A and B are shown apart, each in its own frame.
Chain A
Amino acid sequence: MYDRILIRFGEMTLKKDNYKYFLDRIIRDIENKLIDFKKLEYHHEMFRFYIILNGEDYNEIVKRLMWIPGIFSFSLCVKTGKDINDIANVGYELLKDKKGQYTFKVESHRGDKNYPLTSIEISKKVSALILPKLRDVVVDVHNPDVELNIDLRVDGTYIFTDVIKGIGGYPAGIAGKGLVMMSGGLDSPVATYLSIKKGINVSAIHFYSPPFTSINSLQKVIDLLHELAKYTYKNHIKLYVVPFTTIQEKIYKNANNIYLVTLMRRAMYRIADKVVRKHYLDCIINGESVGQVASQTLESMKVVNEVTNLPILRPLATFDKEEIVTISSKINTYDISIRPYEDCCTVFVPKHPTIKPVLNDVLLEEDKCNFTIELDEAVKNITEYDISYGKRINLFEEENDDIYNL
């Protein structure tokens, strides 16, 4: 039945001079994401973007449109002629499969000003033609369950009922580059998703502490990024894995126990700062949420933040855990995040870390550790992984072993 998809862009339409740039980007993203549907055609006019299906299966396409930042909403539509009976027939076809009792209204828009009927007349006429054929359906013009939209234009009439919400935000990668700190927990993947959605081109950094953490925890991070990569412009996220064991051990041996987490976070930020500068990125992103754990009180953030002057984005700063869980379930990272493996933040945690660290004390403790050389070593020994959606890297699989294909 449906022959095209109407796409609506969100916040980006508010841009004035940059609109075209934003638009080019999102259209290219749409085309890339749907590249394997060879028969699709794309049709663009002022503030309207259509994907013409030419017989392609729209279910998979709809699924993928949910991966594209910048799409505010979309609708499956049918294009027909301008004859009022044709319009009513299409309208009936779209409504007849809806189950149960519902109220509806017809909403018309007349772009073709030469058409003999006004938009109100079109709505009335179409309702009158459809209603007798539908059972259990009542008209409600104020608060309908279903709205039959008729957009009558010079070249034909576009008809649709449901408006499917996209993920919103800005076109992928348009806002600059960020380095997201990925532990493998629930928060960082959600922070990553929200950043990608807002148009940030993300890379990820993970602090890896073998033998205190296992290869499972690294696999977990890879799997999380694999799930998130589908939202990015090129379906790709770069992962920097930092060997962190030496630094953690040094802090553990030398500093006062209650500052372990504070010092560890400072070391992480320092390394992240170096990676950002080395790869010409613009900011650090993490999943910190105010008050969630000892290192995420405002006092702690202040003391930790002191080591870098890069912008630090904390998309989840004011989120409740429940809101975070809701998003992580939606983006399929929840099940991966709850895999029970230790990460760098959960080993070496003192029983009572300080929640109100004082900068001067922290600086004294940090002096005792003296890990300046180790920081540079860590950056030098980073292992890089290229995570592309659809090509899941598996650390447990021997390369080229076809047994996994069964």
Chain B
Amino acid sequence: MIYLDYTATTPVDDEILDTYIKSTKTFFANSSSIHMLGQRSNHMIEVCSQTIFDCLDIKNHNIIYTTNATEANNIGILGYCNKYHGQGKKIITTKIEHASVFNVFKSLENDFDVCYLDINQNGLVDLDKLEKEMDKNVVLISIMWTNNIIGTIQNVKEIINIVKRYKTAKLHVDCVQGICKVKPDFDFNDIDMFTISSHKIYGPKGIAALLVKRSIELNPIIYGSNAQFGLKPGTMDVALISAFAKAIKKYTVLIDKNREYVKRLWLRLYEGLKNNKKIVINTPLDNISYYIMNISIPGVKGETTIHKLENYEIYISTGSACSSKIEKPEKTVLALTKSNDLALSAVRISLSFLTKDEEIDEFIKVMELI
């Protein structure tokens, strides 16, 4: 089996699984119970949160644990727009966001003037356009850090600088594909809200988080107790949180080493595919994470390619696993290439430090055959 779909999800790291098992046995008590056992669970959550803060070097954020990044993005964006819609009527995002951001903005079109920024041929958001769109009426901007389809890294540092000039505008950044994979050249403390997820970095599924600056209040979209600032009420899973914190702690220090390794693989893959006449490589060469390569085989639907590769026990994706069952041109590839044909035939190969050279070579060989 050759698994090249690490952007969709990763297998759980053994050490992280051990943390999960130990924590779930030790901290079975409900962290909201006020007795000693409950408070021990609660304390463990505090330890985990502090670990995450330390790893990301953040000082003024609260952390809200959610079931997945989709939920975190919803809680952040809807919560903010519901709370502060009196301050302005304009919100800005991009055409290449993950569905959990993009469709939230779509849902707000009745109440807000929504702007979807384009990307240029390098896969980067047009910052001049962002500057033009910014005015006093803007309340929220959401732009992802590392793109999940084509792997480009947005210039978050510059985006922060632009947004900073407007007092009422706040910035949300989807960091799911960047965290523990790319070293940020910006300071997380400068971002008002951001989302991270565990299962993309060898942690278990079912746990993600929204980090929100302490000065920001959000309106809840789910109602219940006042746990987690009332934004994500309900019993917290200490074990999942422990495993998440462990994943962040373990993989933060490995960012450079793993990226160096994956970059070599990416270039190997690039060299192997660039002469294949059937294939168009969509991912640009610069400002990319090297964890993702998007390619198209014009005339062949992405889905068909996936199933062909299945026969060789090779697993890749058409696009975001969350939207890959819909038969539509891939919106990010469309925004990048402006070509319907390329967008319909796009597939995504995603890599890991677990990927071997031989697997890349085998993939290249099979791509010649099919």
Contacts of A215 in B (CB 8 A): 36, 39
Expressed in whole angstroms, the minimum distance between the Cβ of B13 and any Cβ of chain A is 13
A214 to B40, CA, bound (A): 13
Chain A: interface size category = 10 to 19
Contact with A along B19-30 (1 / 0, CB 8 A): 100110010000
A394 and B22 in contact, given A403-B242, A406-B48 (Cβ under 8 angstroms): no
User: B-side binding surface: helix, strand, loop or mixed?
Assistant: helix
Expressed in whole angstroms, the minimum distance between the Cβ of A171 and any Cβ of chain B is 31
| Contact between B47 and A404, CB atoms less than 8 A apart | yes
| Contact between A406 and B43, CB atoms less than 8 A apart | no
| Contact between A403 and B39, CB atoms less than 8 A apart | no
| Contact between B23 and A396, CB atoms less than 8 A apart | no
Expressed in whole angstroms, the minimum distance between the Cβ of A374 and any Cβ of chain B is 26
Chain B: interface size category = 10 to 19
A406 and B34 in contact, given A215-B39, A396-B40 (Cβ under 8 angstroms): no
A394 and B43 in contact, given A406-B19, A406-B246 (Cβ under 8 angstroms): yes
Interface residues of A (CB under 8 A from B): 214-216, 394, 396-397, 401, 403-404, 406
- The answer, yes or no, to whether B122 is at the interface (CB within 8 Å) is no
A396 to B39, CA, bound (A): 7
Q: Kindly identify which residue among B34, B42, B44, B249 contacts A403, using a CB–CB cutoff of 8 Å.
A: B44
| Contact between A403 and B26, CB atoms less than 8 A apart | yes
- The answer, yes or no, to whether B340 is at the interface (CB within 8 Å) is no
User: A-side binding surface: helix, strand, loop or mixed?
Assistant: loop
Extra contacts besides A215-B39, A397-B43, A406-B249 (7): CB < 8 Å = A214-B34, A215-B36, A396-B40, A397-B40, A401-B26, A403-B19, A404-B44
Contact with A along B36-53 (1 / 0, CB 8 A): 100110111001100100
| Contact between A403 and B22, CB atoms less than 8 A apart | yes
User: Looking across the interface, which residue of chain A has its beta carbon closest to that of B15?
Assistant: A406
Contacts of A397 in B (CB 8 A): 40, 43
Contacts of A394 in B (CB 8 A): 43
Contacts of B26 in A (CB 8 A): 401, 403
Segment 226-262 of B: residues with Cβ below 8 Å from A: 242, 245-246, 249
Q: 10 tightest CB-CB pairs across the interface, nearest first?
A: A396-B43, A406-B246, A396-B40, A404-B47, A406-B249, A403-B22, A406-B51, A406-B245, A396-B39, A403-B26
Contacts of B36 in A (CB 8 A): 215, 396
A215 to B19, CA, bound (A): 27
Expressed in whole angstroms, the minimum distance between the Cβ of A228 and any Cβ of chain B is 20
Expressed in whole angstroms, the minimum distance between the Cβ of B257 and any Cβ of chain A is 20
User: Looking across the interface, which residue of chain A has its beta carbon closest to that of B26?
Assistant: A403
Expressed in whole angstroms, the minimum distance between the Cβ of A321 and any Cβ of chain B is 22
User: Looking across the interface, which residue of chain A has its beta carbon closest to that of B34?
Assistant: A214
| Contact between A403 and B40, CB atoms less than 8 A apart | no
- Residue of B19, B42, B43 with most chain A CB atoms under a 10 A cut-off: B43
- Residue of A215, A403, A406 with most chain B CB atoms under a 10 A cut-off: A406
Contacts of A404 in B (CB 8 A): 44, 47
Contacts of A396 in B (CB 8 A): 36, 39-40, 42-43
| Contact between B242 and A406, CB atoms less than 8 A apart | yes
Q: List 9 A-B contacts (CB under 8 A).
A: A214-B34, A215-B36, A215-B39, A396-B39, A396-B40, A397-B40, A403-B242, A404-B44, A404-B47
Contact with A along B154-187 (1 / 0, CB 8 A): 0000000000000000000000000000000000
Contacts of A406 in B (CB 8 A): 19, 47-48, 51, 242, 245-246, 249
Expressed in whole angstroms, the minimum distance between the Cβ of A71 and any Cβ of chain B is 25
A404 to B51, CA, bound (A): 10
| Contact between A403 and B43, CB atoms less than 8 A apart | no
Expressed in whole angstroms, the minimum distance between the Cβ of B9 and any Cβ of chain A is 22
Contacts of B23 in A (CB 8 A): 403
User: Looking across the interface, which residue of chain A has its beta carbon closest to that of B47?
Assistant: A404
User: Looking across the interface, which residue of chain B has its beta carbon closest to that of A216?
Assistant: B39
User: Looking across the interface, which residue of chain A has its beta carbon closest to that of B22?
Assistant: A403
Contacts of B51 in A (CB 8 A): 406
A254 to B22, CA, bound (A): 50
Expressed in whole angstroms, the minimum distance between the Cβ of A144 and any Cβ of chain B is 29
A369 to B323, CA, bound (A): 73
User: Looking across the interface, which residue of chain A has its beta carbon closest to that of B214?
Assistant: A335
Contacts of B34 in A (CB 8 A): 214
Expressed in whole angstroms, the minimum distance between the Cβ of B237 and any Cβ of chain A is 15
A342 to B114, CA, bound (A): 48
User: Looking across the interface, which residue of chain B has its beta carbon closest to that of A214?
Assistant: B34
Expressed in whole angstroms, the minimum distance between the Cβ of B370 and any Cβ of chain A is 44
